[in-house]
Chains A and B, each alone.
Chain A
Amino acid sequence: MFEKNRVLVLSLSILTIFALLLAGCTQAATVPTNDVDMDDSAEEPEPAEETAPAEETEMEDEPAEEEPVTVTFWHGYNAEVETPLLENEIIPAFEAEHPNIKVESVNQPYDEFRRQLIISLNAGTAPDLARIDILWAAEFGDTGALVSMEEFIDNWDTYKDKFLPGPLATNYFNSHYYGLPLDTNTRVLVYNKAMFAEAGIEAPPATMDEFVTACEKISALGEGKYCFADGGTYLWAMGPWLWSMGGAFTDPEITVASGYFNSEQSVAAYEWMRMMVEKGYWHPGILGSGVDSWGGFGQGEIAMLLEGPWFPPSFGDQFPDVEFGLALMPADEAGPVSVVGGEDIVMFQQSENKEAAFLFMDYLLSEEVQLKLSEAGQIPVLASAAESDTIQNHDFFGIFLDQLKYAAARPPHPNLARMEEVYTNYSGYILAGEMDTQEALDAAVLELDPIMESR
């Protein structure tokens, strides 16, 4: 009895240890695999892998000459329209062309994206490719995590010419191109037609004065009606108003903020914005508590938003009955200036399948796929695609392409995340009426200059 128990205990303990060790090993070696694709099960039966070595001589003239490789692609495409397009059309078409390459699409929500990337870089399990915010290319490139495109692509000098120069430039930092552009966008004014009609506003505001007049009429509709809403006081939200009124975040060379962020025009722009919040024209959610802007817009509580080209297809999906119009950002002394956004596609140094990864990258940047992606609201970055009939005669791209002519970029700087925190905080202090505008902007530049210099 004793003996039996001891053996049992011993063997159980040993088993546990093994299990733990195994768990540890597999965790370290986890490479995202894709072999449980239910809908593709009609292809080859997977278990063939184990029996293959024994029958190698027989199988010699079978197509399995190269080992099949998996390319992992992280992106934040939305779940409504963009991801289905990628996963159901674009990737299968690519895999049909390249039977030895499997593409695993991994959706990472925007808020988590950077953290997930850092964690996986740290663990040595970075994806092969990622579609990242244009703001991150300089930062990640600067850490040495990304493959420089001009070194990787043999015919770089001719290859790079196919892109629109603006989006391409977002990859350029410290004399390297750390990625390739994938899509570009900007924010335009979106207005709720029913609310405009109810308030008696005939046309979307073309100037800031007209914007204020429109807001007066909207707020006359009653309590709980807001003229405009945005999600916070970050650069993406502040930029269009600040730039249009002649203000700036930094000097053009992106070396200092003082003299620019606290200039006379910047002060005037922030004074104006603070007034908008004070009068209740702007939804107070901009002060940091957040706002469901699409919901409010759809339910006739918010009359105007600034939105990108993903808005028409995705909003239309959620609120098919709400009619909306698109217009340029209201103009002021510097014109109707909006903010440039978009994504770059980057390849990681940790990738073990760089050649295969590049094939997929190149495929996403073919004219055919770029036009396909435009169906989901992604504005192409290829000069040839932008000039094509599809894009030129598109239902709503016209206004975005016009707006892109007047769009400015948030300062590309490796310390942008830190800088953005300062901009966001002080903009919040001003809009909430907690600090005098001039004082706040003077204090902000004192914090910004050293952050910008520390590089």
Chain B
Amino acid sequence: MKKSLLLRKNVVPYLFILPLVLFYLSFQLYPMIKEFQMSFFDWTFNPGKENIFVGWENYQHIFQDPKVKLALKNTLLYALITVPGQMILAMLVALLIDALPRGKGVFRVLYYLPVITSWVIASILVRFLFNFPKGIINYLLLDVFSLIDAPINWFGAPGTAFVAIDLLGIWKGIGWSMLIYLSALQGIPKELLEAAEVDGASPWRRFWSVKLPLLTPAISYTLILLTIGAMNVFLSVFLITGGGPQQKTEVFLSYLYHQAFEFFDFGYGAALSVVLAIGLLIVSILQYRFVGKPERLR
């Protein structure tokens, strides 16, 4: 009995996590190491051909490549627009749902639906909605509301193309943050809110001075994860504009993909992804430092 208890304590737990560890080692850690290695080579995809060691050449190339700058700018802009967009709207929705006397579950599901919708389907839908000249958005703006004089060629210029891409990103992300805010809101002790009410605090005051400070860990958590997510934007751009026209809507990952899978320049692609990973790590650490510690979320 004693022996078996020992075994139970020391071995069995590890057996439980073993499958996931194996999965992590083979599908996460190994590719990461391999990629790091590849970034120092002129890597060919053909197993029979030799890969040439080039040292830091791929990394040097990144800093001289004007398109990397453009892609980085586009990615940052996407993050700057969609991350606050998602957070503010998600907060609004969470507050509204939290205030509902009944039917919370239904609305929670409704707002969460876009999150589980496939990026592929949503992106193709956006292509149709923003079609030029006959998409429904052009129709609404032109014929129904008369806000414009001529149909807009949405995907013909980067500015308008990103309107569509950003809207998709925000729409699709609201539900996820909403869910986190909602559970955090429900975790706020009722006494605090009641005390504030008794003291005569207005609803706005109650939100600003009571709820918001208590939501900081949740906000910080979503901020970090949404930023990482936004910097990794790929499928929507890839499917909606393909980086075009003339590569002006290229984001970091679509450009990386382009280098690796269009030009077979796997070494350069790997170097780009290493740089992105390091950049994200730094951004996350800074956010963690200055916005608050997400692990206080309980």
Mark A residues whose CB is within 8 Å of B.
Answer: 2-3, 6, 9-10, 13, 16-17, 20, 24, 114-115, 118, 121-122, 124, 139, 143-145, 224, 232-233, 284-285, 287-290, 349, 417-418, 421, 424-426, 428-429, 432
Contact = CB atoms under 8 A, between A and B. Distances in A.
B261 A289 contact: no
B45 A121 contact: yes
B63 interface: no
B245 A13 contact: no
Contacts of B264: 118, 139, 143
Contacts of A426: 246
B187 interface: no
Given A6-B7, A20-B23, A143-B46, A425 B247 contact: yes
A289 B153 contact: yes
Interface in B1-32: 1, 4-5, 7-8, 12, 15-16, 18-19, 22-23, 26
Contacts of B244: 232, 288-289, 428
A9 B246 contact: no
Given A20-B22, A284-B156, A144 B48 contact: yes
Contacts of A17: 18-19, 22
Most chain A CB atoms below 10 A, which of B16, B48, B133, B246: B246
B15 A10 contact: yes
B23 A432 contact: no
10 contacts: A2-B1, A9-B12, A10-B12, A17-B19, A121-B45, A122-B45, A143-B264, A284-B156, A288-B246, A289-B244
Nearest to B259: A418
Given A6-B7, A145-B46, A417-B263, A24 B26 contact: yes
A328 to B, nearest CB: 30
Nearest to B1: A2
A115 B46 CA distance: 13
Nearest to B151: A224
Contacts of B213: none
Given A114-B261, A115-B261, A143-B264, A289 B245 contact: yes
Contacts, number: 93
Contacts of B22: 17, 20
B48 A349 contact: yes
B47 A290 contact: no
B102 interface: no
Contact of A289 (B12, B15, B23, B155): B155
Contact of A3 (B4, B47, B241, B262): B4
Interface residues of B, number: 34
B284 interface: no
Given A2-B1, A428-B246, A290 B155 contact: yes
Given A13-B18, A425-B247, A289 B154 contact: yes
A212 B132 CA distance: 24
A114 B263 CA distance: 10
Interface string B136-160: 0000000000000000011110000
A232 B132 CA distance: 15
A273 to B, nearest CB: 15
A138 B48 CA distance: 17
Given A2-B4, A10-B15, A288-B246, 5 more contacts: A9-B16, A17-B19, A20-B23, A284-B156, A417-B263
A222 B44 CA distance: 53
Contact of A429 (B16, B154, B246): B246
A287 B156 contact: yes
Nearest to A139: B264
Nearest to A428: B246
B190 interface: no
B298 interface: no
B112 to A, nearest CB: 31
A74 to B, nearest CB: 16
B133 A224 contact: yes
Nearest to A296: B134
A426 B45 CA distance: 29
B296 interface: no
B289 interface: no
A9 B19 CA distance: 13
Contacts of B262: 114, 417, 421
Contacts of B246: 233, 288, 424-426, 428-429, 432
Nearest to A290: B155
Contacts of A224: 133
Given A20-B23, A418-B263, A424-B246, A13 B15 contact: yes
Contacts of A432: 156, 245-246
B263 A6 contact: no
A3 B241 CA distance: 60
Nearest to A143: B46
B153 A118 contact: no
A232 B241 CA distance: 12
A267 B247 CA distance: 23
Given A288-B244, A289-B132, A6 B46 contact: no
B156 A6 contact: no
Q: Which 7 A-B pairs have the closest CB atoms?
A: A288-B245, A289-B155, A13-B15, A428-B246, A288-B244, A425-B246, A289-B156
Nearest to B16: A13
Nearest to B22: A20
A402 B76 CA distance: 53
A402 to B, nearest CB: 34
Contacts of B245: 287-289, 428, 432
B48 A6 contact: no
B19 A288 contact: no
B47 A122 contact: yes
A118 B44 contact: no
Contacts of A121: 45-47
Contact of A16 (B19, B44, B156, B263): B19
